[in-house]
């Protein structure tokens, strides 16, 4: 019983901390800062106090137990990885695959230039072939 109660206290404090952190991020002006910060401070000091009182070990144990429970399919069963929902394609949106193939300068296989064996070098033909540093018809340096 004590485990469950301390676990719930930890959960509420952490969610409190997270809530305050989020709030703090939204209003990043120092004017509103003190109000949110004081709340955060309260949560932090109490959490610190909590920690100091030696219940830290217990709470980590319960936290581990909590995450361990998820891994073994405790609450929900996730067979497939969660997919990010795609927003509907707009009129001007390009297909992802289409934009990659339209790129004029092709990537070398594995990033290695087959003639010079340069790894991670500039794409396309050798930039210094005309005496200046050329890219896409532009002169970058000379």
Binding-site ranges for other proteins (CB under 8 A): 17, 21, 30, 37, 40-41, 44-45, 47-48, 51, 104-105, 116-142
Shortest spacing between CB 4 and other proteins, in angstroms: 23
Residues near 126 by beta carbon (within 8 Å), at least 6 away in sequence: 116
Nearest to other proteins of 7, 50 (CB atom): 50
Alpha carbon distance 58, 10 (integer Å): 10
Q: How far is the CB of 89 from other proteins (least distance, A)?
A: 24
Looking at the Cβ atoms of 80 and 98, the one nearer to other proteins is: 98
C-beta closer to other proteins: residue 91 or 117: 117
Burial class (CB in 10 A: 0-12, 13-18, 19+), 121: middle
């Amino acid at each position: 019983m004590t485990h469950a109660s301390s676990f719930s206290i930890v959960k509420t404090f952490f969610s409190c901390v997270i809530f305050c952190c989020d709030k703090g991020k939204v209003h990043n002006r120092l004017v509103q800062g003190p109000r949110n910060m004081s709340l955060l401070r309260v949560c932090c000091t109490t959490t610190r106090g909590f920690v100091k009182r030696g219940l830290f070990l217990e709470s980590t144990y319960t936290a581990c137990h909590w995450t361990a429970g998820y891994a073994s399919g405790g609450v929900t069963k996730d067979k497939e990885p969660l997919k990010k929902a795609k927003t509907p394609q707009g009129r001007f949106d390009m297909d992802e695959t289409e934009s990659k193939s339209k790129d004029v300068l092709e990537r070398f296989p594995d990033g290695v230039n087959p003639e010079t064996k340069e790894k991670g070098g500039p794409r396309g033909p050798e930039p210094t072939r005309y005496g200046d540093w050329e890219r896409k018809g532009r002169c970058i340096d000379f």
